[in-house]
Structure 1
Amino acid sequence: MPCTTLLVGRRASADGSPLIARTEDSSAGSFDPKRVVVVRPEDQPRTYTSVLGGRTIELPEEPLRYTAVPNALPDEGFWGCAGINAANVAMSATETLTSNPRVLGADPLVVRDGETPGGFGEEDFLTLVLPYIRSAREGVQRLGALLEEHGTYEMNGIAFGDAEDIWWLETVGGHHWIARRVPEDHYATVPNQLGLDSFDLADAEGPGRDHLASPDLRAFLAEHHLDLTLREDGQGADVFTPREAFGSHTEHDHVYNTPRAWYMQRTLSPHAEDWDAGRPGASPDSDDLPWSRRPERLLTVEDVKDVLSSHYQGTVYDPYSPRGTVAERRAFRPIGINRHNALAILQIRPDLPESHRGLQWIGFASLPFTTLVPMFTNVDAAPEYLTTTDRTVSTDSFYWSCRMLAALADPHYHHVIPLIERYQQRTQALDRAAVHEADRQAAGAGSAAEVPALLEAANTEIAEKIREATAALLGQVLFTASDRMTNGFHLSDE
């Protein structure tokens, strides 16, 4: 089960930008090469058929241009991953979620021919939704309608963002869904586990300020006795706990999912709990970690990248540390895992003009060893370094360069991590300088029509700088790995 999501509300971020971030991780034993593309309106299909689900749908006319991070090998469909459209609306799809037999019996996942997936799923959602929405709320509503009509073959969490808000949608069984707005001064953590810890049905059925849901959700809960909230006499039934009703609390969760939420919250709210005391609600295997918290300071893109690269540093659970026992070091699934395909951090900057408001930060492969490339999204094409990914391993591809770098560095972690950290700091400084300069040029443009060409040139320039820095680091790590090969021998070894 793959992926980790971190959502940051606008009043919790350093520059007032809502931040949507998710690692797309492949399943165990597989790696899915990714690339970055810009899908222009003329390239968007008008009739769409899901490769896995086998469902065909007619799509609306006049789609918006949007960015995506699809599979480089289209055997199983597009898998758009994450992007920002021409209206500066962001979408990340999807975070695979857990569920329980009561939900899956009440509203089964969609199959055809008895076992083949049916309806729509992660492969499809970005293509079906992102080109047609002009706000985060519209994204929830469009995807919700598609789920109600066509259904899905898997449980997923999907994020939508604009300059003001982030909405988080969780699928419930084959056709139902719930969605909640991220509190503006909070961050939210989602590690492959259905995580919403509170939901207000009255708000969802009424004004929908912070909650939206399938229209029949209350009846669905009642008919199948899914609401497990223990209430006092006379207490209203409007507020319930979705993770108890729809989610899971298995031993698998305690090894694979809850430790990631624990470490993200431990890092971003270090003084909120005694994180190492093993107490309920603040331990790696806790089922009661809140879905969202206030950070102890404002958060940056770099903070987000660091958290999603983490492997329990500073604890006995770090697989690279000598502190714990072998069993402790292998106890939990790291956030920064070998199976990362891609990281997308989606940033809509409300203090800037629409013409250069959207930024998509791209990372590939195992994140503890790699860096980010920022890409302005109001463009017609992505830089070649981010798009040239296929079956051929090549340093002309950012994806394959990152994959090689991580694989070479991992066995020699303590020898190369100083090189990696200097590279990450240098390249992230280059990223920031490039963004500042492109913002300055865009602000000085004669008209908004001139901005896309300026941004496209800026994207290419920073991608080339990252290419040079990555190639240099790859050479250094290769030398270290070669020098430490098992069959090495010197006369002085005698």
Structure 2
Amino acid sequence: MKKMSLALLSVAVLSAIGINADACTGLIVGKDASDDGSIIIARNEDYGITNWNKYLAYRPEQDNTESHWELGNGLIVPMPDHFFAYSAMPDWNAKRKTQDGRYFEERGINEYNVAISATTSAEANKQAMKADPFIDAGVIEANIPALVLSQAKTAKEGVKILGKYIESFGAGEANSLYIADINEVWLMEIGSGHHWIGVKVPSNSYAMMANGLRIHGVDLHSADLLHSKNLFRFTKQHHLLKHPKHNNFNFAKAFGVIGDLYNIDREWLGQEILSPSLSQETRQKQYPLFLKPDDKISVNDIDKVLRATYNGTELEYDGKRPMKVSRQLETHIIQLRADMPFELQGLIWQSYGILDDSVLMPIYATLHHYPKPYMVGTDSYSDNSAFWQFRGLSSLASINQDQYEPVLHKMWNKKENEFYDEVRNLDQVLKYSYDMDPQGTIKMASEYSFMQLKQTYNQAKKLRYKMMTMLTKNAEKHYSQAEFDKIMKL
């Protein structure tokens, strides 16, 4: 579309352009599979509504005196004596659900460097649902980060805490989620009202997730596996698997739906990008749970996976639902780096809106206060909201993709590469200065993140002004010189 009226332009910019469907694509990378020795968990947060503002938030530690904790969807659990401090990314309307806004917090790192990404939504099969249906007022994506980050000192403890809640109070939906600390990372899946499983990801491998349950081929007796009480007996009793085996258990098949093209196409694509030497056939019922990458994986590699399409692949013309979709709200890549001082081990790379049209900004876990644009806004466009600045650019660029998307992509790719270089260099400075001045070093990291968030927001705003100017000029009628001279004399 080369030209359009200003009325249509306003509608295009401010309207949602997504569709309703299960959402999110995720990736876990073990420390020996990453290029810098960090443990990484990452995910696109996709949604059926594109105009859904996201905030940055920090929850300070607190002592509790209440007897019960209300989690917003009807779930009520005993109140812990104490909450650990943690960062989060709640929806704009979170306080309408819980008084302190601990709702749909999506991802974060707590004061013990336990990180979570929750969740990639999944589907449970009919037989599992008949045997153990979901509980309406149960554990759901909306309350998982708060339950785990406020209480867990290690990733494994986080799995156990959440598992106990599921067995005691029930789950409200099927999900897979990723919990990490500085030493290890776990993939956890919820398959029914009271059954779940968690497996430690091998340090030399990665795991690729779409919207189907993935855990299979695992040993229920392994020290690297946790699961709900009587899981094997329940599976056998309700004939969820024909011939269940303790040492080769298929949780995904027992509780989920395998072979769905909506999911397995993405699983194939992610593994094709990171392990191309395998040359796997497309559309297998289940793909390997853990794989070693052909080359060590960087943040930039994960960025490429999470913005991937099927262009140039075997599925170019019939691939279902790529990683890149127009209904992305945000993308996060969380690194836990053992070689950094304790307070600086957590680093979140955060983007807003569609990843392919946006930029990953580095946020050190030491940052507890954020620029105001990242803490305001609703589901209606506003000029002072960071979410809307980044999301609005995608909408503007979509009006004339050939002309405007290259401008947008060039600017953000340049900025993102600058961030990679800056963080690499800054990390060396921070490690050197920490021994001499811990508090000053922590402040340095926080100020760097604060400034980059602020400057990148301003850069997005300036580009939006430029694109709006270009679009309105393109909408102008082209007059002859004589007509123009006459108009200017009026």
Tell me which interval the TM-score lies in, with the shorter structure as reference length: 0.7 to 0.9
Check if 1:471 corresponds to 2:461. Answer: yes
Structure 1, 42-51 or 411-420: larger mean CA deviation: 42-51
Q: Give the Cα–Cα distance (whole angstroms) in 1 for the partners of residues 473 and 309 of structure 2.
A: 26
Check if 1:88 corresponds to 2:113. Answer: yes
1:358 maps to which of 310, 330, 346? 346
1:62 maps to which of 82, 94, 104? 82
Check if 1:430 corresponds to 2:418. Answer: yes
Q: Which residue of 2 aligns with 1:277?
A: none
Q: Give the Cα–Cα distance (whole angstroms) in 2 for the partners of residues 400 and 238 of structure 1.
A: 49
Residue 96 of structure 1 contacts residue 156 of structure 1 at CA under 8 Å; is this kept in 2? yes
Residue 355 of structure 1 contacts residue 451 of structure 1 at CA under 8 Å; is this kept in 2? no
Change (3 A) 1:10 1:223: same
Residue 25 of structure 2 contacts residue 210 of structure 2 at CA under 8 Å; is this kept in 1? yes
Change (3 A) 1:488 1:315: farther
Q: Which residue of 2 aligns with 1:342?
A: 330
Classify the secondary structure of the residue corresponding to 2:147. helix
Q: CA deviation at 1:98?
A: 1.5
Q: CA deviation at 1:480?
A: 4.7
Q: Give the Cα–Cα distance (whole angstroms) in 2 for the partners of residues 37 and 91 of structure 1.
A: 15
Q: Which residue of 2 aligns with 1:189?
A: 208
Q: Give the Cα–Cα distance (whole angstroms) in 2 for the partners of residues 366 and 44 of structure 1.
A: 38
Classify the secondary structure of the residue corresponding to 1:201. coil
Classify the secondary structure of the residue corresponding to 1:202. coil
Q: CA deviation at 1:25?
A: 1.2
Q: CA deviation at 1:333?
A: 1.4
Q: Which residue of 1 aligns with 2:230?
A: 216
Q: Which residue of 2 aligns with 1:104?
A: 129
Q: CA deviation at 1:176?
A: 0.9
> Unaligned stretches of 5+ in structure 1?
111-116, 231-235, 275-281, 319-323
Residue 87 of structure 2 contacts residue 368 of structure 2 at CA under 8 Å; is this kept in 1? no
Change (3 A) 1:159 1:490: farther
Classify the secondary structure of the residue corresponding to 2:378. coil
Q: Give the Cα–Cα distance (whole angstroms) in 2 for the partners of residues 464 and 433 of structure 1.
A: 19
Change (3 A) 1:361 1:136: same
Q: CA deviation at 1:105?
A: 1.1
Classify the secondary structure of the residue corresponding to 2:331. strand
Change (3 A) 1:213 1:237: closer
Q: Give the Cα–Cα distance (whole angstroms) in 1 for the partners of residues 308 and 65 of structure 2.
A: 38
Check if 1:394 corresponds to 2:391. Answer: no
Residue 65 of structure 2 contacts residue 81 of structure 2 at CA under 8 Å; is this kept in 1? no
Change (3 A) 1:382 1:468: closer
Q: CA deviation at 1:50?
A: 2.4
Q: Which residue of 2 aligns with 1:12?
A: 33
Sequence identity (%): 27
Q: Give the Cα–Cα distance (whole angstroms) in 2 for the partners of residues 293 and 437 of structure 1.
A: 31
Q: Give the Cα–Cα distance (whole angstroms) in 1 for the partners of residues 242 and 402 of structure 2.
A: 48
Q: Give the Cα–Cα distance (whole angstroms) in 2 for the partners of residues 45 and 83 of structure 1.
A: 25
The AA in structure 1 aligned to 2:42 is: A
Q: Which residue of 2 aligns with 1:50?
A: 71
Classify the secondary structure of the residue corresponding to 2:329. strand
Q: Give the Cα–Cα distance (whole angstroms) in 1 for the partners of residues 105 and 480 of structure 2.
A: 54
Q: Which residue of 2 aligns with 1:173?
A: 192
Q: CA deviation at 1:306?
A: 1.9
Q: Which residue of 1 aligns with 2:269?
A: 263
CA RMSD of aligned residues (A): 2.4
Change (3 A) 1:416 1:63: same
Q: CA deviation at 1:45?
A: 9.1
Q: CA deviation at 1:31?
A: 3.7
Q: CA deviation at 1:39?
A: 0.7
Change (3 A) 1:417 1:388: same
Q: CA deviation at 1:267?
A: 1.4
Change (3 A) 1:58 1:372: same
The AA in structure 1 aligned to 2:346 is: G
Residue 89 of structure 2 contacts residue 107 of structure 2 at CA under 8 Å; is this kept in 1? yes
The AA in structure 2 aligned to 1:108 is: P
Change (3 A) 1:396 1:456: farther
Q: Which residue of 2 aligns with 1:444?
A: 433
Classify the secondary structure of the residue corresponding to 2:36. coil
Check if 1:371 corresponds to 2:359. Answer: yes
Q: Give the Cα–Cα distance (whole angstroms) in 1 for the partners of residues 426 and 64 of structure 2.
A: 28
Deviation string, structure 1 residues 346-367 (Cα, Å, up to 9, x no partner):
1111111102111111111111
Q: Give the Cα–Cα distance (whole angstroms) in 1 for the partners of residues 440 and 151 of structure 2.
A: 25
Residue 80 of structure 1 contacts residue 123 of structure 1 at CA under 8 Å; is this kept in 2? yes
> Unaligned stretches of 5+ in structure 2?
1-21, 482-490
Q: Which residue of 1 aligns with 2:8?
A: none
Deviation string, structure 1 residues 323-372 (Cα, Å, up to 9, x no partner):
x5xxx4xx521211111112121111111110211111111111111111
Q: Give the Cα–Cα distance (whole angstroms) in 1 for the partners of residues 192 and 258 of structure 2.
A: 17
Q: Which residue of 2 aligns with 1:301?
A: 299
Classify the secondary structure of the residue corresponding to 1:67. strand
Q: Give the Cα–Cα distance (whole angstroms) in 2 for the partners of residues 316 and 367 of structure 1.
A: 23
Q: CA deviation at 1:436?
A: 4.0
Q: Give the Cα–Cα distance (whole angstroms) in 1 for the partners of residues 370 and 449 of structure 2.
A: 7
Classify the secondary structure of the residue corresponding to 1:122. coil
Deviation string, structure 1 residues 151-178 (Cα, Å, up to 9, x no partner):
1110011110111211011012001110
Aligned length: 452
Residue 26 of structure 1 contacts residue 340 of structure 1 at CA under 8 Å; is this kept in 2? yes
Q: CA deviation at 1:438?
A: 4.4
Classify the secondary structure of the residue corresponding to 2:142. helix
Classify the secondary structure of the residue corresponding to 1:199. coil
Classify the secondary structure of the residue corresponding to 2:448. helix
Residue 41 of structure 2 contacts residue 178 of structure 2 at CA under 8 Å; is this kept in 1? yes
Q: CA deviation at 1:379?
A: 3.2
Q: CA deviation at 1:315?
A: 3.9
Change (3 A) 1:17 1:490: farther
Residue 59 of structure 1 contacts residue 128 of structure 1 at CA under 8 Å; is this kept in 2? no
2:255 maps to which of 238, 246, 261? 246
Change (3 A) 1:153 1:455: same
Q: Give the Cα–Cα distance (whole angstroms) in 1 for the partners of residues 292 and 468 of structure 2.
A: 42
